[in-house]
Amino acid sequence: MYNILICDDEKDIVSAIKIYLASNDYHLYEAYDGREALEVIEQEEIHLILLDIMMPKLDGVQVLAQMRKNYNIPVIFLTAKSEDTDKILGLNLGADDYITKPFNPVELLARVKSQLRRYMELGSGNKQKQVLKVGDIELDDIAKAAFLMGEPVGLTPKEYGILKFLMEHPRQVFSPKQIYGQVWEEQAYGAEGTVAVHIRHLREKLEVNPEEPRHLKVVWGQGYKIE
Write down the domain spans for the chain.
2-122, 130-226
Cα angle, residue 78 at apex, residues 74 and 83 outer, rounded to 5°: 115
Q: Which of 120, 116, 98 is nearest to 107 (CA)?
A: 98
Q: Considering only residues 35 and 87, tell me which one the structure prediction assigns the higher pLDDT.
A: 35
- pTM listed for this prediction: 0.55
Residue 127 pLDDT more than 50?
no
Please tell me the CATH code under which domain 2-122 is placed. Answer: 3.40.50.2300
- pLDDT at res. 7: 96
2-122 and 130-226 agree in CATH topology: no
130-226: CATH topology: Arc Repressor Mutant, subunit A (1.10.10)
